[in-house]
Structure 1
Amino acid sequence: MAITFYDLCGRDAKRFSPYGWRTRMALAHKGLDYDLELVKFTEKDKLAFSGQKLVPVIVDGDRTVNDSWAIAEYLEDSYPDRPSLFGSPEGRGMAKAINGFVNTTIQPLLAPLIIADILEHVDPADLGYFDESRRQRFGRPLAEVQADRDAKVDGFRKSLEPYRIVVKDRAFVGGDGPTYADYVLFGTLQWARCTSAYGLVTADDPIHSWFERLLDLHDGLGRSEPAA
């Protein structure tokens, strides 16, 4: 029985969830086929069976797993004969620390830089929900949140330094090959690539070259989703 993968989609079935992309890359890394179920922001009823309202979710036989990190661990433990997502037990710990760092530090700095641009890629049926829910989160209209991004982008770029000092002299965080430690930040930057044309990193930044390598992985899976 194939895995079923529930992922967020926007206008024209565009998939831009940062967490969905982490799972998408993890499944490709493991070489696992799946049936795709697309879920819009206002279609949370589709996820009721999982006991919560957020994507990504996978169903594998009688197992239902939500949360991108939990999914990565499940795939690693359930398919040990496939390429490892972590490389080693030590690598799993490193990836978990990086996952937390990206979630709590990098992604919150990125969101205000692109949040209004995302509106252009949300399905029309979801626009009211997305605008109101994010307005409540940020405490002001999204256009105002994003208006001073030129003054904030340097702070975001500085937050990438822990990744930058690693990938400036190696292809991937773990060395010659990618691991989940790469997919975590990739998912966040892919979220931006798919929804905003704003220049987050400069062409001479090692992060730029690293991201281009990630876009080419798994037969160009990252590039298969059009950039904004």
Structure 2
Amino acid sequence: MAENNTITFYDLQLASGCTISPFVWATKYALKHKGFDLDIVPGGFTGIMERTGGKTERLPAIQDDGKWVLDSWLIAEYLDETYPDRPRLIGSEGEKILTQTLENWLWKTAIGPWMTCFIKSYRDRSLPQDHQYVTESRERMFGNTMENIIIGREDRLPLVPPQLELLRTALRQQKWFGGDTPNYADYRLLAVFLFCASVADTPVLTEDDPLRDWIDRGFDLYGGLGRHEGMSPLFGLKLREGDPEPFVKDAAKMGGGLVSRNTGPKSTSEETAHLKGEKTTA
């Protein structure tokens, strides 16, 4: 069991000391959720095998009184199994599956496009000794040079916010994805925005995006865990003429019976009027 309430945590950092990997971010939050102090082993992409004594070439990784646990999901499950008296991260197998499904969607929707916009700053912000590895591995991944990959990003950035309406809809109904308090689903999804803030050199969401409340509260958790000085502002995206609306500003236009619960005609009148093309009374 964790001696002195401390677990050794192997970080993956940029030159500023800011965490870069979404998986490592999620693990950092999971450990704080469980109430642990972190003995952080710093470092970047190169030298992971040396730092971990040959235990792994990828992070996150933790040591709990000599016991090694690898992989962000396995770490979360280990923490719940080993410390059941502390707040749970994952409430059920069904909750885990739903979280993984939503995370996979968010990666495709946001991280993929954002990576093509910020891959050069991703490299430039990494530790000097990591530049060659990041350049070669990411250019091989995308099949192009970093300079070419980011071309046209000003056209791609405005396309991402409208695709995030699923998150906004869920958060209109509740404070966290965990309900009244955050759970591992919140941390896995927040990790996408934490990653973006660590590498973005220009904002990705408009100032008035409804996601701001949840993101700001998430970044403020555990004494401002997500407020590292090396991170960039997420909010402040300037839209150009012809760019799509960044989010649905009239919830009734969402339709599909998802916005409000049917408790009688009064609860559905606004949406019904919209579907009929009628004006609603104030």
Relative to the length of structure 2, the TM-score reads 0.73
Alignment-mate amino acid for residue 138 of structure 1: F
1:211 aligns with 2:215: yes
**Identical amino acids, percent of aligned pairs:** 33
For each residue in 1:156-177, what CA deviation from the matched residue of structure 2 results, as whole angstroms up to 9, or x when unmatched? Answer: 3244232221013422112221
Alignment-mate amino acid for residue 49 of structure 1: G
2:77 touches 2:90 (CA, 8 Å); kept in 1?
no
1:47 equivalent among 47, 52, 65: 52
1:71 aligns with 2:95: no
For each residue in 1:41-85, what CA deviation from the matched residue of structure 2 results, as whole angstroms up to 9, or x when unmatched? Answer: 1113223532x3111111113432211122111112211111111
1:15 touches 1:225 (CA, 8 Å); kept in 2?
no
Q: How many residues align?
A: 227
1:82 equivalent among 80, 86, 95: 86
1:113 touches 1:149 (CA, 8 Å); kept in 2?
yes
SS across alignment from 1:58: strand
Residues 200/23 of structure 1: CA separation in 2 closer, same or farther (3 Å cut): same
In 2: Cα distance, 1:93 partner to 1:77 partner: 18
1:107 aligns with 2:111: yes
1:166 paired residue number: 170
SS across alignment from 1:49: coil
1:24 aligns with 2:33: no
User: Which structure 2 residues correspond to residues 187-206 of structure 1 after superposition, within 5 A?
Assistant: 187-206=191-210
Unaligned segments of structure 2, at least 5 residues: 233-282
Name which of structure 1's ranges 20-29 and 56-65 shifts more when overlaid on structure 2: 56-65
In 2: Cα distance, 1:38 partner to 1:109 partner: 28
Per the TM alignment, residue 6 of structure 1 is displaced from its structure 2 partner at its CA by: 0.7
SS across alignment from 1:34: strand
Alignment-mate amino acid for residue 65 of structure 2: G
In 2: Cα distance, 1:64 partner to 1:104 partner: 30
1:121 touches 1:195 (CA, 8 Å); kept in 2?
yes
Per the TM alignment, residue 24 of structure 1 is displaced from its structure 2 partner at its CA by: 0.8
1:6 paired residue number: 10
2:154 paired residue number: 150
Per the TM alignment, residue 187 of structure 1 is displaced from its structure 2 partner at its CA by: 1.0
2:122 equivalent among 101, 118, 124: 118
Question: Which structure's relative contact order is higher, taking Cα pairs within 8 Å and 6+ residues apart?
Answer: 1
Per the TM alignment, residue 11 of structure 1 is displaced from its structure 2 partner at its CA by: 0.8
Alignment-mate amino acid for residue 11 of structure 1: A
In 2: Cα distance, 1:199 partner to 1:103 partner: 18
1:137 aligns with 2:141: yes
Alignment-mate amino acid for residue 91 of structure 1: E
Alignment-mate amino acid for residue 117 of structure 2: L
1:86 touches 1:95 (CA, 8 Å); kept in 2?
no
For each residue in 1:123-181, what CA deviation from the matched residue of structure 2 results, as whole angstroms up to 9, or x when unmatched? Answer: 11111111111111111111221121222224432442322210134221122211111
In 2: Cα distance, 1:218 partner to 1:227 partner: 17
For each residue in 1:16-53, what CA deviation from the matched residue of structure 2 results, as whole angstroms up to 9, or x when unmatched? Answer: 22111101111111111221111221113223532x31
1:76 touches 1:85 (CA, 8 Å); kept in 2?
yes
Name which of structure 1's ranges 69-78 and 85-94 shifts more when overlaid on structure 2: 85-94
Which structure is higher in helix share? 1
Relative to the length of structure 1, the TM-score reads 0.89
2:120 touches 2:147 (CA, 8 Å); kept in 1?
yes
Residues 30/70 of structure 1: CA separation in 2 closer, same or farther (3 Å cut): same
2:8 touches 2:64 (CA, 8 Å); kept in 1?
yes
Per the TM alignment, residue 208 of structure 1 is displaced from its structure 2 partner at its CA by: 2.1
In 2: Cα distance, 1:77 partner to 1:113 partner: 39
2:16 touches 2:230 (CA, 8 Å); kept in 1?
no
Per the TM alignment, residue 119 of structure 1 is displaced from its structure 2 partner at its CA by: 2.3
Unaligned segments of structure 1, at least 5 residues: none
SS across alignment from 1:92: helix
